[in-house]
Amino acid sequence: MNAPTYNFAYLDEQTKRMIRRAILKAIAIPGYQVPFASREMPMPYGWGTGGVQVTAAILGPDDVLKVIDQGSDDTTNAISIRKFFGKTAGVATTTSTTDATVIQTRHRIPEAELHAGQVLVYQVPIPEPLRFLEPRETETRRMHALAEYGLMHVKLYEDIARFGHIATAYAYPVKVNARYVMDPSPTPKFDNPKMDNCAALQLFGAGREKRIYAIPPYTTVVSLDFEDHPFTRYRFDAPCALCGADNSYLDEIVTDDRGGRMFVCSDTDFCEQRQAAGHHGTERAAPHKEKAHV
Amino acid sequence: MYVAVKGGERAIENAHRLLAHERRGDRDVPEVTLAQISEQLSLGVDRVMTEGSLYDRELAALAIKQARGDMIEAIFLVRAFRATLPRFGASEPVNTGEMQVRRRISSTFKDIPGGQILGPTFDYTHRLLDPQLAEGFVPEQPATAEAPQTPAPRVTDILGRDGLIESSPQAEPDAPVGDLTREPLSFPADRDLRLQNLARGDEGFLLALGYSTQRGYGRNHPFAGEIRFGDVEVEFFAEDAGFAVPLGSIELTECQMVNQFKGSATEAPCFTRGYGLAFGQSERKTMSMALVDRALRARELDEEARSPAQDEEFVMSHSDNVQATGFVEHLKLPHYVDFQSELGLLRKLRQEFAEANDTPELREAAE
């Protein structure tokens, strides 16, 4: 039988070179979606194959990797991806945002400010911000080429006309380096301002859709809005029940079927660091902790 | 209750152990062997090789066993393995005209040079469950006869000699072969990439699309010019040796559809082609593929493309079952961060609605 053997960080070097070329092009043209020959990965499409390929292509033996999903290091898919790289690359892993050199994320940007030298790798399901306005790739590529973004502004305007607000709560479109309209991946719009002028390199990988794009460090990223309807962040108005933070994005935990709920930080590392530093909320438990291995 | 949401390392490990246990089933029942799967579930193996794009019966059988018979999961396993294989080069084009034919039928002529050969087929069986097969059934040895010495030229070649069917476009011998697993697909795509996409595409999806063309959504008046199944030799041009060396033989099914004719003031009318090719014996797949291939040639043949099967971006972007199942099933992953954001927006909109319409119950519920 043709028994499989695998390279460092799973992908063969030729594939990594191809991905790195796409990444370099993406960095050179901030916000532009670079097509790349995405490979079939050993996890399903839609489960982070784009992010995994980007991470595999940039990872070196000395890197320290953090993987989060929904802001948390211990969600099932984050664990699965972290274990994948632990196994195929043998790199050190961490849950600390500050200690990590590469952070792969799905749906969140960490609360702690990222520093120079770090790379944030986003998993992207649908890279095309115009996709739900125009399903054809041939059309959307032309619209980007001509910077023809009127359709997006009409959509945002129609939201305001219908609901009184821009009715996009996540994957809120941004303009990068005053040129390309970009999908920030399905992060809550609360996270959008963190992309602007960020010290870290931000890379976006969409495996199924075969696209890579990037925001180089210290690049202008503006959330689309109107003068009379400026962009606003959304955050539930409560402190975290565990660490008392009043500036972090919160998960809503339903505690019973009579309307009981609590709000805790979605970024588990941020929350734990704060608790370790002596901050407390109304609850003292750390309910997301698993029981120790026996 | 929170633990259930967050899952964890131990939960994953335990789930995998449980999966392995369920896969084995009742341990008093003997385990199926790869040879059993390969020999007795051979059409399933053929499908996994075709849509997995890898001709290896043993690995396909292993994938089916590992996937507990879930074909798309098995195809996925094969694809993920295939993605890591080094590429030595491309084989010489196979010559299906020289196929060692095991089955070969044409619905366009009563008889053809080389003859109609029914071969192993479900066609004309009565679909009655056969209790004999439940256990220990030993079938009769098949009837045999001297192999015919007459060649079996392709029916489309016979039509082509009289110019009754469009000539098959010849590829540039030195042009590289398109490969959508190595280069990202862009639209409009050429026919080589379209055919590759269809060959890897989901059998059920292509079946439904092919069927839709028969029911009027992009009708193209097909006749099954020929379907042939058998063994063909694969050759590889070895630079060192300076000539093509045989690598072995593979089983292929080829379907050539003969479709509605076209013509113009300057060109004599002739039939057009739709093409299907798959590993092993995969007739439903190749026929569906040929129907969809012909439908996708609408642009090239100056036909109005109004139906889903004629829409290249629609067909090619959604034919791949590994991509499709991944994205559909990713909805199982946690989405509570986005959901929270939507929830916040919805609550705000409902509160504003309640204030504007002065409905206190709604306002209370919104708060």
Catalytic residue among A48, A71, A198, A271, which?
A271
Which range of residues forms the domain containing residue A117?
A: 13-223
A44 and B326: CB-CB below 8 Å? Answer: yes
Q: Which residues of B touch A77 (CB under 8 A)?
A: 333-334
Whether residues A241 and A136 fall in one domain: no
Residue A290 maps to a domain:
no
One-letter amino acid for residue B275 of the chain: Y
Whether residues A60 and A92 fall in one domain: yes
Indicate which CATH number applies to the domain containing A42.
3.40.50.11310
A40 and B59: CB-CB below 8 Å? Answer: no
Of the listed ranges A79-83, B145-149, B277-281, the least confidently predicted one is: B145-149
A246 interfaces chain B, CB cutoff of 8 Å = no
Of the listed ranges B7-11, B69-73, B299-303, the least confidently predicted one is: B7-11
Whether residues A217 and A81 fall in one domain: yes
Whether residues A64 and A26 fall in one domain: yes
Whether residue B362 has pLDDT greater than 90: no
Q: Which two tokens stand for residue B79?
A: 């694809």
Of the listed ranges A206-210, B209-213, B264-268, the least confidently predicted one is: B264-268
Q: What is the pLDDT of residue A293?
A: 44
Of the listed ranges A174-178, B231-235, B344-348, B363-367, the least confidently predicted one is: B363-367
A79 and B7: CB-CB below 8 Å? Answer: yes
Distance from CA of B62 to the nearest CA of A (A): 10
Catalytic residue among A207, A240, A259, A278, which?
A240
Q: What is the pLDDT of residue A3?
A: 58
Q: How confident is the model at residue B366 (pLDDT cuts 50, 70, 90)?
A: low
Q: What percent of chain A has pLDDT over 90?
A: 84
Whether residue B4 has pLDDT greater than 50: no
Distance from CA of A185 to the nearest CA of B (A): 10
Whether the CB-CB separation of A34 and A144 falls below 8 Å is answered with no
Residue A1 maps to a domain:
no
Distance from CA of A262 to the nearest CA of B (A): 11
Q: What is the pLDDT of residue B5?
A: 42
Whether residues A72 and A103 fall in one domain: yes
Q: How confident is the model at residue A1 (pLDDT cuts 50, 70, 90)?
A: low
Of A79, A234, A255, the CB nearest to B344: A234
Q: Which residues of B touch A72 (CB under 8 A)?
A: 6
**If you measure CA to CA, which chain A residue comes closest to B353?**
A163
Average pLDDT, chain B: 91
Whether residues A113 and A41 fall in one domain: yes
Specify the number of domains making up chain A: 2
| Highest-pLDDT range among A21-30, A274-283, B351-360 | A21-30
What letters, b where the CB count within 10 A reaches 16 and e where it falls short, cover B315-347?
A: bbbbbbbbbbbbbeebeebbbbbbbbbbebbee
Annotation marks residue A198 as catalytic: no
Q: How confident is the model at residue A207 (pLDDT cuts 50, 70, 90)?
A: very high
Write the DSSP assignment of A103-172 as a string of letters. EEEES---SSPP-TT-EEEEE-S---TTTTT---HHHHHHHHHTT--HHHHHHHHHHHHHHSS----BS-
Catalytic residue among A48, A71, A205, A243, which?
A243
pTM for this prediction:
0.90
Interatomic CA distance for residues B218 and B228, integer angstroms: 26
Whether residues A260 and A185 fall in one domain: no
Write the DSSP assignment of B52-73 as a string of letters. HT---HHHHHHHHHHTTT-HHH
Residue A265 maps to a domain:
yes
Q: Which two tokens stand for residue B134?
A: 């439940």
Residue A199 maps to a domain:
yes
Whether residues A164 and A26 fall in one domain: yes
Average pLDDT, chain A: 92
Last residue of a domain, one of A181, A196, A223: A223
Q: What is the pLDDT of residue B171?
A: 73
Whether residues A91 and A143 fall in one domain: yes
**If you measure CA to CA, which chain B residue comes closest to A142?**
B187
Whether residues A272 and A217 fall in one domain: no
A234 interfaces chain B, CB cutoff of 8 Å = yes
Q: What is the pLDDT of residue A291?
A: 46
Q: Which residues of B touch A137 (CB under 8 A)?
A: 186-187, 313, 317
B330 and A12: CB-CB below 8 Å? Answer: no
Residue A63 maps to a domain:
yes
Q: How confident is the model at residue A115 (pLDDT cuts 50, 70, 90)?
A: very high
Q: Which residues of B touch A253 (CB under 8 A)?
A: 1-2, 5
Whether residues A126 and A200 fall in one domain: yes
Phi, psi of B242 (to 5 degrees): 85, 5
Residue closest to A79 by CA, chosen among A100, A59, A114, A104: A104
Whether residue A288 has pLDDT greater than 60: no
To test the contact with chain A by mutation, choose from B333, B349, B357 the residue with the greatest count of A C-beta atoms within 10 A, namely B333
Q: How confident is the model at residue B177 (pLDDT cuts 50, 70, 90)?
A: confident
Write out the E strands in A224-286. 250-254, 261-265
Residue closest to A38 by CA, chosen among B112, B323, B143: B323
Q: What is the pLDDT of residue A292?
A: 45
Residue A229 maps to a domain:
no
Interatomic CA distance for residues A45 and B326, integer angstroms: 4
Residue A67 maps to a domain:
yes
Annotation marks residue A46 as catalytic: no
What is the ipTM metric for this complex?
0.85
Residue A289 maps to a domain:
no
The DSSP code for B310 is: G
To test the contact with chain A by mutation, choose from B65, B320, B336, B337 the residue with the greatest count of A C-beta atoms within 10 A, namely B337
Q: Which residues of A touch B357 (CB under 8 A)?
A: none
Whether the CB-CB separation of A81 and A43 falls below 8 Å is answered with yes
Q: How confident is the model at residue B260 (pLDDT cuts 50, 70, 90)?
A: confident
Mean pLDDT value across residues A20-44 = 96
**If you measure CA to CA, which chain B residue comes closest to A288?**
B3
**If you measure CA to CA, which chain A residue comes closest to B15?**
A76
Q: What is the pLDDT of residues A133-159, one digit of tens each?
A: 999 999 999 999 999 999 999 999 999
Whether residues A256 and A174 fall in one domain: no
A35 and B184: CB-CB below 8 Å? Answer: yes
